[in-house]
Amino acid sequence: MTTVERAVGGPAPVEVQRSFPPPWLRRGGSWLLNIYAVLGLVYLFIPIFVIVAFSFNAEETKFNFTWDGFTFDNWAHPFAEQGLVDAFVLSLEIAAIATAVAVVLGGLVALALTRYRFRGSALVNLFLVLPLTTPEIVLGASLASLFIAKTYPSPVPDSRGFLAILIAHVMFCVSFVALTVKARLRGFDWTLEDAAMDLGAGPVRTFTKVTLPLMLPGIMAAALLSFALSLDDFIITLFNSGDQTTFPIYIYGAAQRAIPPQIQVLSSMILIVSVGILATGTFVGRRRERAATS
């Protein structure tokens, strides 16, 4: 349907329809609002500039807070700090596994919530939101008291560690994945499944050939989100890490001891990779749109 509309309405039908904001606003003082919004974006990027700049800092003090001169040394040796590299690899591992599990569990929940009408779906919706509306510190403390419950209240020995972090990350990622995929599936035309069935496809084939491909954009978005959330999570992880050091926990420790500039270098790398993913996504989306219109 979108294809037909585009073909009829030209390349940008949305712009033609849109008479809001009204010409009055567009011509008049509206540039003030635009400038305000641009300033907001600049504000978002101020610390990012600082991070990238200080990755080139020839650090002389223990803390990377003052500018001591320009150098490429940090970028030439991004993996000089073994502890940092180990922590980073551990974070990537956890993020990858947690995302994989959360995408399956959360995707199924989203499918159930959008595909069927059933008793208790409102309750499930509310339940999904609860972990997101609970302060992280409460989630962290409660999970930690689960993992030390056997020996509670003695602090040793406990079962906090790699598996505990993984379980915690899957827990909050499931909610995010389910809600993201659900939002994408709203308004989905489920008769397409019936059509596939009518044409002789079995339930499995229908799922893999029709339902899954249509769910895929939502799943991809959810996977990216949950990977980023897992990679970035600090508070819940701190409570459940045991002897494990993830990337954020390493940085937390470094903030108290000494901050090697490699932290800024690795952060800049993450930034570059994510901008790359964003740019690719936009580019591919554009091309697909263009292909659909031509």
Site for other proteins in 242-281 (CB under 8 A): 247-248, 251-252, 255, 259, 263-264, 267-268, 270-271, 274-275, 278
CB of 112 to other proteins, least distance (A): 4
Site mask for other proteins (CB under 8 A), range 92-131, x = bound: ------------xxx-xx-xxxxxxxx--xx-xxxxxxxx
- Is 64 in contact with 267 (CB distance < 8 Å)? no
* 8 Å CB contact between 103 and 177: yes
Residue 17 within binding range of other proteins, rule CB under 8 A: yes
Q: How far is the CB of 91 from other proteins (least distance, A)?
A: 9
Considering only residues 147 through 186, tell me which ones interact with other proteins, judged by CB under 8 A. Answer: 149-155, 167-168, 170-171, 174-175, 178-179, 182-183
Does residue number 85 form part of the binding site for other proteins (CB under 8 A)?
A: no
Select the residue interacting with other proteins from 85, 92, 100, 141 (CB under 8 A).
Answer: 141
**Contact track, other proteins, 50-69, x by CB under 8 A:** xx--x---------xxx---
CA atoms within 13 A on the CB side of 229: 23
Least distance to other proteins, CB of residue 96, Å: 16
As a whole number of angstroms, the distance between CA 29 and CA 158 comes to 62
Closest CB to other proteins among residues 216, 275: 275
How far CA 84 is from CA of 53, 248, 260, in Å, comes to 20, 10, 9
Q: Nearest approach, Cβ of 2 to other proteins (angstroms)?
A: 11
What is the CA angle 174-178-184, rounded to 5?
150
Residues 6+ apart with CB under 8 A from 96: 227
- The footprint of other proteins on residues 194-223 (CB under 8 A) is none
Q: What dihedral angle (degrees, nearest 10) is formed by the CA atoms of 263, 268, 269, 270?
A: 90
Q: How far is the CB of 209 from other proteins (least distance, A)?
A: 19
Q: Work out how close the CB of 238 gets to other proteins at its nearest, in angstroms, rounded to a whole number.
A: 7
Choose between 100 and 251: whose C-beta lies nearer to other proteins.
251
* Using rule CB under 8 A, residue 22 touches other proteins: yes
Residues linked to residue 45 through DSSP beta bridges, in sequence order: none
Cis peptide before 248 (omega within 30 of 0): no
8 A C-beta contact, residue 16 and residue 9: yes
Distance CA 275, CA 234 (A): 22
